[in-house]
Structure 1
């Protein structure tokens, strides 16, 4: 993982680029006069677990929404698995990407949102199989086999035929995690996945995510205020403030010996 907010100071070494699964290069995003991301440069290597921390409004969730193409950058480029996300190269020029190109690149990305966003009219099993069948082209049998394996992994193997409304919030979020993994993404985005849960349900969801982090090679990019969870699962932690990475490093250093005063202030408020 690397992070650098100095425009033009991003490594272009071909070997380094090949080792990156996600790459933001000079990405800016504004909402009116508010600059949410300011010439952001950072990259994530395959298999790494990277957590974004910082105060509300610092740009963390905007990064995930850009990766899901729910937003588009105002400047800069994003690449995923070596391909531009919202741009594509034609005749040696970088141009806005076609919808088809965006859909193809986005198949590499799965996201679990704050809200569960399950289809209430579909049983749990179909919630998980719908996209693999219609987007990835899996057979119903193959999709259902994969879904049952994932439900077992998140501890809900016996709830295949339940409707989401018959599940607790924590169970619904675990179904949402299984649904994201069913698409076999190269990277899993986690956006404050416990913020909508009752406190007693948080631990169960975090335990599932710890198991995934420790037992699979999936890349994870996580936004959370659960600092103990971040310390447990992260290879690297990025501290954001005002749309910039002001500090980054392994969790042991960020949480125990932060270098920046702003990081120390933030952690003293949340730990």
Structure 2
């Protein structure tokens, strides 16, 4: 089996440099403010987990990074580049779609739902985007896809359609598909929430292996607190669109300072 570290080589940057930066980002839906002048950053090679109650704004952060929604105020940078803005004549303007697509190539996401192409076998699901988005030659994309399918433990299933796989297997294909784009940052949005309980551990084990064996940057939303504690460099506790507390996992889970954090953890641990 190839080393997981091979799949982070082309995405590596100097660890500790800033990769993602939110500056005064506000997002509203009608009269509801989901994110309220949010400031935070993620450094290259770090794994940052967002925790907090439903509706606290965690998933909105990932959706903003994928440009599924746009901020109402503030800016987002990825590897120094503005995501939804461009600099023209010394001022910021709304970015064109070409600019957004180029910056978004640096980001990969695994969703709650697997979102696999139902008419494509596993191998093609994983190699499709590198061919059509990155322009990778088909033979190179296929080799990359086969290695990643092996990494997630599904070599014997590469000729199957998604409907022939369990939910856990489909999610592992989705992880391989995201990694096939060689993103600089991998977003994980409650990736086990749609799985039957007995399938959760296999997916978490794959993600632990990737987290511990590669230098890929991760931004994670999860209710799996033991997983968060195991893989995170930092944990951010969200409530009502704001960060109420942040720190290393041992501190957040063992000695939280904020009462809201203590209340939340008492319901999930």
TM-score with structure 1 length normalisation? 0.93
> Please, which runs of 5 or more residues in structure 1 have no aligned partner?
1-17
Runs of 4+ in 1 over 2 A off after TM superposition: none
What is the deviation of 1:159? 1.1
The answer to whether residue 54 in structure 2 is matched with residue 56 in structure 1 is yes
Partner of 2:176: 178
SS at match of 1:42: strand
> 3-state DSSP class of the match of 2:59?
helix
- Report the counterpart of residue 255 of structure 1 in structure 2: 253
Question: Quick one: which of 95, 98, 102 aligns to 2:96?
Answer: 98
> Could you tell me the TM-score, scaled by structure 2's length?
0.94
What does 1:168-247 correspond to in 2, within 5 Å? 168-247=166-245
Partner residue in 2 for 1:4 = none
Q: Please give the alpha-carbon distance, in whole angstroms, between the structure 2 residues aligned to 1:109 and 1:261.
A: 34
The match for 2:153 is: 155
Q: Structure 2: any 5+ residue segments left out of the alignment? A: 1-15
CA distance in 1, matches of 2:39, 2:52: 17
* Cα drift, residue 144 of structure 1: 0.5
The CA distance in 2 between the partners of 1:153 and 1:122, in whole Å, is: 20
Rounded Cα–Cα distance in structure 2 between residues aligned with 1:125 and 1:155: 13
Distance 1:184 1:124 in 2: 18
Residue 122 of structure 2 corresponds to: 124
**Mapped partners of 1:258, 1:125: distance in 2:** 44
Q: Supply the distance in 2 between the matched residues of 1:176 and 1:240 (Cα, whole angstroms).
A: 27
**1:47 equivalent among 26, 45, 65:** 45
- Structure 2 equivalent of residue 5 of structure 1: none
Write the distance in 2 (CA, Å) between the matches of 1:91 and 1:129: 40
Please name the residue that 1:84 is paired with. Answer: 82
Aligned partner of 1:13 in structure 2 is none
Residue 199 of structure 1 deviates from its aligned partner by 0.1
2:11 corresponding residue in structure 1: none
The separation in 2 between residues aligned to 1:177 and 1:73, in whole angstroms, is 27
Alpha-carbon distance in structure 1 between the residues aligned to 2:128 and 2:74: 34
Residue by residue over 1:114-158, the C-alpha shift from the partner in whole angstroms, topping out at 9 and shown as x without a partner, is 000000000000001110001101111000000010011100011
Measured after TM superposition, the shift of residue 19 of structure 1 is: 1.9
> Residues 73-123 of structure 1: CA distance to partner in whole angstroms, max 9, x if unpaired?
000000001000000101111000000000000000000000000000000
Distance 1:20 1:27 in 2: 17
Residue 13 (structure 2) aligns with:
none
Cα deviation, 1:206-227, whole Å, max 9, x if unaligned, reads: 0000000000110000000000
The count of aligned residue pairs is 254
